[in-house]
Chain A
Amino acid sequence: MPGPLLVDSLVRSLQVGSLYALMALGITLTMSVIRLPNFAHAEYITVGAYTALVVSLAVSSNPVVILGLSALAAALVALICHFAVFRPLEKRNPSTYTMLLASFSVGLILRYILFLLVDRFDLFDRRIAVPLEIWYRSNSIILTNVFFWVVPTTLGLVLALSALLNYTPLGREMRALANNFELARVIGIRVERVKSLTWILVGLLAGVSGALWGIYSSVNPLMGWLAILSVFAAAIMGGMSSFVGTILGAYLVSFSENTVMQLLNYYLGLDFSFKPAVPFIIIILVLLLRPQGFTEFFNRARGLQR
């Protein structure tokens, strides 16, 4: 496969991987601190994307404003879902599948509320009004403004999150909750407060990732739902608990979907229509061969569980 093509593919894998990483981090956080496999996370992402669309059309084209408002909107939605649905349910000590079904229902409700609003305000097939510009061009690489927003934002948020977890009291409490729930409660951590703040964090991440995803591609009410299994694949690679594992998992998933798929297509003639199967196959391989994910490799790195 020609060199420039490979480089091009890698650049794009990097970009999409960063987006997956942002989305998957939210799921990892939810899973480790709150112990909930949250299918509604897909909808928080979509909410972020639609907020970005509306803001870009009606308020401002400034990316910072757009990202900020999207983050806030998704955080709000996440919080509402927590107080309205998840918290009352948790009090009754439900099984994991009850929570899974509950998260699926919440997602269903949010998705169709979005459909309703999109239909009412005629937002089908509209693009976020942030034009694509080329910011760097060389012989083999072309980088756009979206690239420069996505990758540094991801890195920045990851670092910020890491700093939060390791150097702030809240972070310590979150890690305590992730490590040993009962013990955390016993030693006096205000569990409810930590949970609420975690949800806000999860929402912020989802909102930003949704907005960036929308700018990068397009916006429709099903975008979160369609991407969610790829995102779960990434989170599973991190064993649902390690940050670094999740991030690397995200890049691995993106790399497989893009570069590996491309190689398979180029050399083996495998049709691109099988592309959606790639993250699924990864999930199965990881779960069967190494179910704990790759957490052990990152023992020394900062994560939620040692």
Chain B
Amino acid sequence: MRKMSIVGILALLLLVIAMPASAQDEIETYVLGVAQPFTGPLGSFGTDFSKGIELAVEEMNAELEAAGSNVRFEIASADTEGTPDGAARAVQTIVQTTGAQVIVGPLTTSEVLGAKQFVDENDIVIVAPASSGAAAGIPDDNIFRVIYPSDNFAARAFAEIAVSRGYQNVAILHVDDPFGNGLSESFTADFTELGGGEVVSIGYAPDPTDLTSEATSLSAEVSRLMSAGDTAVLCVCFLADAQKLFQVTMIDPVLTSVEWMGIENLANPELLADAGHAELLQNANFISVSFVDTQTPLSQPFVDAFTEKFGAEPGPFTNYAYDAANIAMLSMLVVDNDGAAVSEILPFVSNHYIGTSVQAYLDANGDQAIARYGIYNVSEDATEFTLVGTYDGSSGELSLNE
């Protein structure tokens, strides 16, 4: 009896493993890997990105079917847990279990670097939608960061805005990680170059439990800078950190008397859901440089399709994942899903791709070279962010309606 049930189970297992292959000998399946942090502090990004990629794959499959192609895409998704080691394992598992040649993800620069050795050795291509740290801007490898441009562009945009608004000094509060540090240093260099005054930079450890001391310090520095000229605050903070920060700055007389600038993460209606924070931002004439340029014909349809499929609007940056997935899939289709070949053809495909934001034109490192930003302000009724200007990274042109 025991023997039989073991045999039975084995047979069932073999059947399950064999089945998908045999039932689809007409359809050719390309596996698109997705390596994102689903757990850990960045879990909300990972899940939202995955949904965007899912939407992209669904649409692509529908188009392929309508066109009579026998290729379909399938997603193989693994959790990187937000660490470089986890990313290496996730990518390895995806590739070795499903034969995927192209992976969309991971999220952060550290994770990308964690997976780098494996993908370079095994001719796997990584298309990272949101990594922007300088440390991964390496030529001749299999890592392509196709949509989100290097933070240097955003830093430049902020510097230009600061000058345009007449700020003489700026105090930066930034998260102490490659992203925050990079943007802060870039901004300082650019602002000084454009003739700005003093820049003070305060870094806080990632995943803070509490930001009161940093806020107090910021207040002190701003107070000091104010005596020497018009001062503003630049907040290079993640959404949750900003929420903690605002609880403290809301009641600080110095910080509520100056204007604020904030990174893309903060141009998020979620932040305005709290009336107190919304009022704070409005009074601070809050301005954000956001890479969401809603001027392509695909931008709104993406939002609509996402909302219909998942019952909620896409989070910030999710459209990058959507675009990255499309670039990956198109490249795979062009060269029949061979890793080394995809690596060669991807820049070409990218350079001819315009999705929900801007054209994905890659530089020598395989990273996005086009940076066209939308500049956003809090609306009159403090319920959303409205576009008040644009900045073109390649020409350095700022157009601000203030």
A132 touches B213 (CB 8 A): no
A63 CB, min distance to chain B CBs, angstroms: 15
The answer to the question of A46 belonging to the interface, with a C-beta cut-off of 8 Å to chain B, is: no
| Contact A273 B204, CB 8 Å, known A12-B248, A119-B43, A132-B250 | yes
Cα–Cα distance between A230 and B97 once the two chains are bound (Å) = 41
Which stretch (B28-36, B119-127, B160-168, B214-222) binds chain A?
B214-222
Among candidates B39, B239, B276, B312, residue contacting A112 with C-beta atoms closer than 8 Å: B39
A115 touches B39 (CB 8 A): yes
Cα–Cα distance between A112 and B371 once the two chains are bound (Å) = 38
Interface string of B102-117 (1 = CB under 8 A from A): 0000000000000000
Q: Report how many residues on chain A are interfacial, defined by Cβ distance under 8 Å.
A: 46
Residues of chain A within 8 A (CB-CB) of B21 are none
Residues of chain B within 8 A (CB-CB) of A112 are 39
B213 touches A261 (CB 8 A): yes
| Contact A124 B44, CB 8 Å, known A8-B216, A131-B275, A262-B213 | yes
A1 CB, min distance to chain B CBs, angstroms: 8
Interface string of B250-263 (1 = CB under 8 A from A): 11110000000000
| Contact A276 B205, CB 8 Å, known A8-B216, A119-B47, A217-B210 | yes
Which stretch (A73-81, A189-197, A201-209, A219-227) binds chain B?
A219-227
Nearest residue, chain A, Cβ from B268: A125
A218 touches B213 (CB 8 A): no
A262 touches B176 (CB 8 A): no
Nearest residue, chain B, Cβ from A132: B276
Among candidates A125, A223, A226, A258, residue contacting B212 with C-beta atoms closer than 8 Å: A258
Cα–Cα distance between A220 and B214 once the two chains are bound (Å) = 21
Residues of chain B within 8 A (CB-CB) of A18 are none
A118 CB, min distance to chain B CBs, angstroms: 8
B204 touches A127 (CB 8 A): no
Residues of chain B within 8 A (CB-CB) of A223 are 209
B210 touches A132 (CB 8 A): no
Interface string of A214-244 (1 = CB under 8 A from B): 0011101111001100100000000000000
| Contact A272 B216, CB 8 Å, known A115-B43, A125-B243, A134-B251 | no
B210 touches A271 (CB 8 A): no
The answer to the question of B399 belonging to the interface, with a C-beta cut-off of 8 Å to chain A, is: no
Cα–Cα distance between A73 and B239 once the two chains are bound (Å) = 28
Considering only residues 128-171 of chain B, those with a C-beta below 8 Å from chain A are none
The answer to the question of B397 belonging to the interface, with a C-beta cut-off of 8 Å to chain A, is: no
The answer to the question of A21 belonging to the interface, with a C-beta cut-off of 8 Å to chain B, is: no
Considering only residues 115-147 of chain A, those with a C-beta below 8 Å from chain B are 115, 119, 122, 124-127, 131-132, 134, 142, 144, 146
Among candidates B216, B239, B270, residue contacting A12 with C-beta atoms closer than 8 Å: B216
| Contact A122 B312, CB 8 Å, known A132-B251, A220-B240, A276-B205 | yes
Residues of chain A within 8 A (CB-CB) of B43 are 115, 119, 124, 221
Q: Report how many residues on chain B are interfacial, defined by Cβ distance under 8 Å.
A: 38
A16 touches B205 (CB 8 A): no
B247 touches A132 (CB 8 A): yes
B243 touches A273 (CB 8 A): no
Among candidates A124, A126, A127, A266, residue contacting B217 with C-beta atoms closer than 8 Å: A266
A273 touches B251 (CB 8 A): no
B207 touches A272 (CB 8 A): no
B338 CB, min distance to chain A CBs, angstroms: 36
A135 CB, min distance to chain B CBs, angstroms: 10
| Contact A259 B213, CB 8 Å, known A132-B251, A226-B207, A272-B203 | yes
A125 touches B44 (CB 8 A): yes
Interfacial residues, chain B to chain A (CB-CB below 8 A): 39-41, 43-44, 47, 176, 202-205, 207-210, 212-214, 216-217, 219-220, 239-240, 243-244, 247-248, 250-253, 270, 273-276, 312
Of the A-B pairs whose beta carbons lie under 8 Å apart in the complex, a sample of 25, sorted by A's number, is A1-B220, A2-B220, A8-B252, A12-B213, A15-B212, A115-B43, A122-B312, A127-B273, A131-B275, A131-B276, A216-B247, A217-B209, A220-B41, A226-B209, A230-B209, A257-B213, A261-B213, A262-B217, A271-B176, A272-B202, A273-B203, A273-B204, A273-B205, A275-B208, A275-B213
Q: A13-B212, A127-B243, A217-B243 are in contact. List 19 more A-B contacts (CB 8 A).
A: A1-B220, A5-B219, A8-B219, A9-B213, A12-B212, A132-B276, A217-B209, A218-B243, A218-B244, A222-B41, A258-B213, A258-B216, A265-B213, A272-B203, A272-B205, A273-B203, A273-B204, A274-B205, A275-B213
Q: What 3 A-B pairs come out closest when comparing CB atoms?
A: A273-B176, A124-B44, A12-B212
Interfacial residues, chain A to chain B (CB-CB below 8 A): 1-2, 5, 8-9, 12-13, 15-16, 112, 115, 119, 122, 124-127, 131-132, 134, 142, 144, 146, 216-218, 220-223, 226-227, 230, 257-259, 261-262, 265-266, 271-276
